[in-house]
Structure 1
Amino acid sequence: MSVNALYTDLSGYYDLMCVDIDYQAQSHAIRRLHQIFGNEGKRHLDLACGTGPHVRHFLDAGYTSSGLDINQPMLDIAAQRCPEAHFSLQDMSSFEVDEPLDLITCLLYSIHYSDGLDKLGDCIASAHRALNEGGVFCFNAVDKQRINNALSAKHTAQQAGATFSFCSGWHYSGQGARQSLRLSIEKTEAGKTQMWNDEHPMVAVSFSELIALLEPTFEVHVFEHDYQTITPWDNVSGNAIFVCVKREGLA
């Protein structure tokens, strides 16, 4: 077995890595929440959109949907998947839009890709500026105080005669505003196995800290991380969906 940087660009394997994600169920649940809390508008932007699967489902549901990411190869795939959508190469902490939006999403815990609490605050401020009155910013997050470093998610998939095994898990030292997403990929083909390891630095934040960042400019509603039912957060679980409505009278 060789241990090396198997892939310098994950864009070609991103969809395979995320094959177990039910993008349709996630998108449907967010649309339901938008119907409840939103302003009835249909202009949507997906932050850290990757290869565009969420954008595809919002387009199919009648939204004018767009996406942004910092990875151009991901955006190239997204543009093939969603040719009618607009995609832009931007940082979600400092993005700009041409027209005000009604819904901004940031799913798959991508909000944590903000580089520190200051950048997280900048992302929240950018979302607030981009939204129409009564617009909604919706994302999922993990509470740093409830991370279990021993837990990980694993799955396998087949592609072009090779077997891929993916493993990912959160790691938090217990102090500060830094956590990481640890990722490993094994590729087995013709009896030979290669392994690729990476560690993505991410911002660590408790839900109380996150709510404190949001409340000056948003009305915040927190729900259980369940895309099948709309259930208020139980104040115990470490994963949640945040639905943030732009406060009236704030530019």
Structure 2
Amino acid sequence: MSDNLLYTDLSTYYDIMCADIDYQAQSDTAHRLWQVFGNQGKKHLDLACGTGPHIRHLIDRGYHSSGLDINQPMLDIAQHHCPEAQFSQQDMCDFRVDVPVDFITCFLYSIHYNSSVIKLQECIRHAHKALTTGGVFCFNAVDKNKIDNYSFTSHTVEQDGNQFVFSSRWYYCGSGEQQALKLSIHKTTLNVTEKWQDEHCMVAVSFEELLALLSPYFEVHVFEHDFEKLVPFSGSTGNALFTCVKITA
């Protein structure tokens, strides 16, 4: 399948595909980071929002949230989940907002959906432009130099008589600015199994490279990838939370 086709075709299954993700904990962490670093404004934008689970939790915390995603079927579901929010079909490397926002989030490593370093740089520039003074851009990322090509996550979900097995893993060849997210879905109904395989090309950067892209626009604080507590990044792991405070107009 071509890039994003699996997400479009299986948008109905996206929420069960992500059933093992603790959206509440991620949203709570985003809120804590906003409390520490934010400018007290509550206009919020979620990049690559998918079906809107982070938006739902942040609206429930009092944020005035909006979201964008490149896939309209996902946005249709998000609008159903979050009727109070505004959604738009846009590419996050070239997005616009009508009114500046105070807080931008981009979780599930979706920042890597920018297809190249140049596109990632454009995404960062547009996020900076979209924020109010003192606004915060918060996202998680993976360091290309720490990717284990043989490590994967997998979980099984039962729904309406169907069994789903979802698996995903990162792959990086060791050079260049592209890595892959490899996805696999097995759906079994009455002992008949359907299989989907997909590979998404994504931007690969080291954390040193990412900090160099961010530093002209933001004061950057990096934390361990821990949604239970805020711990400064030690540099020993390959996943981290980036909290970026707008420092220039």
Name the TM-score, length of structure 1 as normaliser.
Answer: 0.96
Tell me what 2:168 maps to: 168
Structure-2 separation of matches of 1:158 and 1:8: 21
Name the count of aligned residue pairs: 245
Deviation of 1:7 (Å):
8.0
The equivalent residue for 2:129 is 129
Instruction: Give the drift of 1:194.
Output: 1.5
**Aligned positions of 1:1-251 closer than 5 A:** 9-247=9-247, 250-251=248-249
> Quick one: which amino acid aligns to residue 88 of structure 1?
S
Partners of 1:10 and 1:120 lie apart in 2 by 26
Q: Give the Cα–Cα distance (whole angstroms) in 1 for the partners of residues 246 and 121 of structure 2.
A: 15
SS of residue paired to 2:222: strand
What one-letter code is carried by the residue in structure 2 that aligns with 1:63?
Y
Q: Write the distance in 2 (CA, Å) between the matches of 1:197 and 1:48.
A: 21
The residue identity in structure 1 corresponding to 2:100 is P
Give me the whole-angstrom Cα distance separating, in 1, the residues matched to 2:6 and 2:176: 31
Which string of whole-angstrom CA distances, capped at 9 and with x for unpartnered residues, describes residues 4-50 of structure 1?
A: x9886121110010001110110001100110001011000000000
Distance 1:139 1:8, change over 3 A: closer
The structure-2 alpha-carbon separation of the partners of 1:71 and 1:206, relative to structure 1 and needing over 3 Å to count, comes to same
CA distance 1:192–1:178, shift in 2 (3 Å): same
Q: Percent identity among equivalent residues?
A: 63
Q: Is the 8 A contact 1:6 1:194 kept in 2?
A: no
8 A Cα contact 1:103 1:136, kept in partner: yes
What CA distance in whole angstroms lies between the structure 2 residues aligned with 1:7 and 1:228?
Answer: 29
1:142 is aligned with what amino acid?
V
Q: Deviations over 1:118-157 (max 9, x none)?
A: 0000000000000000000000000000000000000000
AA aligned opposite 2:141:
A
Report the TM-score, using the length of structure 2 for normalisation. 0.97
C-alpha spacing 1:75/1:85, structure 2 compared with 1 (3 Å): same
Shift of the alpha carbon at 1:197? 0.4
Q: Which moved more, 1:69-78 or 1:8-17?
A: 8-17
**C-alpha contact (below 8 Å) 1:182/1:198 kept by paired residues:** yes
Distance 1:79 1:167 in 2: 27
Verify the 8 A CA contact 1:7 1:196 in the aligned structure 2: no
Q: Which amino acid letter does the alignment assign opposite residue 206 of structure 1? A: S
Deviation at 1:108, TM superposition (A): 0.2
Is the Cα contact below 8 Å between 2:8 and 2:73 reproduced in 1?
Answer: no
Q: Which structure 1 residue ranges, 5 or more long, are not aligned?
A: none
Distance in 2, Cα, partners of 1:244 & 1:97: 19
Structure 1 SS opposite 2:126 = helix
Whether the 8 Å CA contact 1:186–1:193 is kept in 2: the answer is yes
Could you list the per-position Cα deviations for residues 74-131 of structure 1 after superposition, in whole angstroms to 9, with x for gaps in the alignment?
0000000000000000010011101111100000000000010000000000000000
| 2-structure distance, mates of 1:7, 1:234 | 34
1:152-193 deviation digits (Å, cap 9, x = unpaired) = 000000122110000000000000000000000111111111
Residue 93 of structure 1 aligns with an amino acid whose one-letter code is: C
Distance 1:231 1:24 in 2: 19
Please state whether the residue corresponding to 2:243 is helix, strand or coil: strand
Q: Aligned equivalents of 1:237 and 1:100: distance in 2?
A: 34
